Structure 1
Amino acid sequence: MKRFCIAAGAALASVIAAVVPAAAWQPTKSVEFVVTSGPGGGTDNFARIVQSIIAKHKLIEQPVVVLNKGGGSGAEGYIYGKGAKGDAHKVVFGTNNAYLLPYVAKLGYKLSDLTPVSALALDEFLIWVKGDAPFNDAKAYVEAAKAKPGSFKMAGSQSKDTDQTLTAMIQEATGAKWIYVPFQGGGAAATQLAGGHVDSNTNNPNENIGQWKAGQVKPLCVFSPVRLAKSDPIHDGKGWGDIPTCKEAGLPLEAFQMPRTVWLPAEVPADAVAYYADVMEKVSKTPEWAEFIARTAQTARFMKGKELTEFVAKDEAANAKVFKNEGWVVN
């Protein structure tokens, strides 16, 4: 009888175990937010606002620490993520450089070393010229560049990165030719344009807002399917929503946007991916995130799963085409 009871108890336990699902994945120690840029950069600001929102709303029970690894245009952070294979306590913050860097540089990682979690926003790109430049719309500036090929200078952040890629796309679409001048970051590109050392740049809104407020630079158009959200006036009575799209301005290039992305190392549990995707989606619905998006003039767009995978595939293909045409592909 005793043996029967023990056997019955064991059988019951096994049935309960089969019926009751295992607890969903939760972090059991400190979580590292690995930032693929230096302190103060766009990706750093992205990770830190997410960290602060998580802390305020208690979305993760364990401590979250930010670790900057921005060497090699962000490759350092992705390589660090590769080395943490299977460890879901390492969360990597980046952009589309996660899947584009391996095209243009020989690096110690590839996209399959990372697991996509989510994207929370799209960074916008604009054509900016000096505040006193004679051009008041993008088409006029492009026509001037076409009339004098190679005499106008376009500043950007880094070589073979988003700004130079966009410049190549503009050239391909319009037939105009610029001398591309790379700088260490968008801040330097903004300073050089304000000082008149270059003729234009393709900075994000947040990178040029200070110079626009001072009237040192002016935006001609934004590479977005729709205009930016309305805002308070920045300069001369105009705000972000008053800037025409580049398509409206007559350029045959509708959109160029950079996703703010979140990744995990390879071979992490599927429920860990779902856990962080859920956390990031909750972050994207907070008033603090809405304020950050408005302040930086980004476009809020949360993506995960199939939607994110399809976006990455389309964005990767568009950029890879430019890399091949420009002869930048190294692998």
Structure 2
Amino acid sequence: PTPDPSPQGGGELSTGVLLAFAFPDRVAKNRGNGSFTLANGRGAAIEQTSGLARAPYLAVGELTGTAAQGRILLAAPITLSEIELHFGDQITDADEVSFDRSAMTLRARRRRALHAITLSEAPLALAPSEGTARVLADGLIAAGLDRLPWSKQLQQWRGRVMFLRKAEGEPWPDLSDAALADSREDWLVPALFDKTGLKDFSASDLSDALMNLLPWELRVRLEREAPTHFEAPTGSKLPIDYEAEQGPTIAVRLQELFGLTAHPSVAGGAVPLVLELLSPAHRPVQVTRDLPGFWRGSYAGVRTDLRGRYPRHPWPEDPASAPPTRRAKPKGT
């Protein structure tokens, strides 16, 4: 801009304004402790003992040092009203949306700025949109997928899909943390169009968003090849842990499997379930991937041990042909 010697009807231009006309990229804002941010984005400092160290704004005439942190050698104060008056054509107003990780929510503000320095800002009411959904999704992913409202049911569903992906490969989707972060445009952003924070995103919302990644034909196969539960011969429905280190696992009281002659499996019979066999008191007894082999082999030693500790429970010599049970024998028998 061209200097106006009488901008308001006859006033002289201040030294700060003259310096700013000469070096408009060096208008600087105080950020405390003698430290300033320049309009060009550089950082610079002045001796804290200098009277200029407390000025809200400076026009810097001379500085030395690195681009990251310079030392101010010559400067003069300039007021916000002078900046507004003489550099109004370089001042921008922008509405900005950012993610507040401490509150796990979006914040909106109107920022008035001279290039890299903020002259003023004020909070704004936030209107959810596709744009805000992207900012929120990026913030939530950066905070960590574990911060999302996972239900036990959804965690198991994810484990089931990942199990089948490991067993069969494509077309099962990759639901690892890294893959979900990379594909957030497909599942997370659309689910956040009407949200402004994690508090608005329910476990049901998360479940719907993720389950949409699985085509209908795979949903049918998922129920068939990776069921949520194993039904024991007694009728007990036992949840299958697909995230167990040793593979899909169930914990079941040994006596509930009496009469079972084939080892239970998933993935269309390709993967045997890991059976954590329990005593009547639900204490671990044995882990096996071969139930018929267990009946023929180490069951005899387990039977000898458990008969003494649980005499009111049946311990048949031939468990493969005995009826399964969840109960102890009646007293007196």
| TM-score category, normalised to shorter length | under 0.3
- Structure richer in helix, relative to its length: 1
Question: Which TM-score applies when normalising by structure 2?
Answer: 0.21
Identify the structure with bigger relative contact order (alpha carbons < 8 Å, sequence gap 6+): 1
Structure (1 or 2) with the larger CA radius of gyration:
2
